[in-house]
Structure 1
Amino acid sequence: MSTSIVDSTPLFELNARIRIEASPEEVYSVVSDLPRSGEWSPECQGGEWIGPPAQVGSVFRGENLRADDVVGWAPLVRGTWHTEARVVAAEPGRTFRWMMLSHAQEDQESVWGFDTEPADGGACTLVHHFRMGKATAGIHKIVADLDEEARKRFIEEWTAKLAGDLDATLARIKRVVEAG
């Protein structure tokens, strides 16, 4: 039995960074306000907290939108769909991370987050990261009917898409935070 690329661990592990002319605490107050994510995310249009906001254990229900041309050949969810995530780290001025939940409300090895690091002159460096250990049920569904070459192509193109999304998100957060 051969191993597929989707059996790799981690399947995805990316990060990007940007300098922002604001304190780590100011930046944290923005990035931990997930309902505002529509202001900076290429896919998440915002959403709402289910219960108390922005603390470990809090659940966020996000509304997402994906265009038809995003890895257009792959059988991805298009248009609007919803996700839920649970906050797994919330340290004001330092780190904010959330884990995606399956439709059965189970943890998935799919974690997004932000870390802030103090920088010279009262500024900070914001690091945005994403790690998927084992492939989620969603990834398995996407690649189920693809041969191994198409699976490799999908992982390659999805990695590039994720890298672009991390960079775009950081640039938009920088504009939001620095505009006050």
Structure 2
Amino acid sequence: MDVVTGAQAAIALTVQMPREQMWELITAVNRTGEWSPEARGGSWADGTLGPSKGARFTACNRYADGLVSKVTCVVTETERPRTFTWAVLDDAGLVGSTWRYELREGIEAGSTEVFHSFTHGPGNTGARVAAEADPQALSRRLVTLFRNMTTTIGAMSAAEAANGSKR
């Protein structure tokens, strides 16, 4: 039985930042290492300069156990300044996971509601290998992803607030 495919972690946060500004941050794959406890950053591939459907980027992650991995990602949906979705591919080119940001205007002027989600795909990933060895590993991984996603969005918002006060 495959308990990993379809496993999800999702958060919803409101940040005190205009949606267009938040869009710039979530699509800046080269800057993710500034905010994320796990993602170390990335770079657009094949001469791509930013998000567009089908665009590829390489991302680097460092996990709590010290393991470092590089992955290939492909943008599957992009609608500025609303939606940014990408798939992380495994070594066979299968979707290991799908990550999605959805941005909506916040209730307060100048705020943004950020919806961020992770869905495990059918591909081969470290999470799959760990869950096959220890069924509780998947739950622990989802909790870590939830925490990291929350931390990343909070750090994006705080860094931009600090930059705004310096301008």
TM-score normalised per structure 1: 0.80
Q: Mapping of 1:23-102 within 5 angstroms?
A: 23-51=18-46, 52=48, 53-68=50-65, 78-102=66-90
8 Å contact from structure 1 (residues 43, 64) kept in 2: yes
1:9 and 1:140 mapped to 2: Cα distance? Answer: 6
Alignment size in residue pairs: 159
Q: 1:21 to 1:154 in 2, by over 3 A?
A: same
8 Å contact from structure 2 (residues 51, 75) kept in 1: yes
What is the CA distance between 1:109 and its match in structure 2? 5.1
Q: Which has the higher contact order (CA 8 A, sep 6+)?
A: 1
Helix, strand or coil: the match of 1:41?
Answer: coil
8 Å contact from structure 2 (residues 130, 137) kept in 1: no
Larger Rg: 1
Q: Mapping of 1:13-32 within 5 angstroms?
A: 13-32=8-27
Helix, strand or coil: the match of 1:175?
Answer: helix
What is the letter of the counterpart of residue 41 of structure 1?
A: S
2:8 and 2:128 mapped to 1: Cα distance? Answer: 17
Structure 1 residues without counterparts, runs of 5 or longer: 69-77
2:83 and 2:101 mapped to 1: Cα distance? Answer: 6
Runs of 4+ in 1 over 2 A off after TM superposition: 8-11, 139-144, 176-180
Structure 2 residues without counterparts, runs of 5 or longer: none
Match of 1:111 in 2: 98
Q: What RMSD over aligned residues (CA atoms) do the two structures have, in Å?
A: 1.8
Helix, strand or coil: the match of 1:97?
Answer: strand
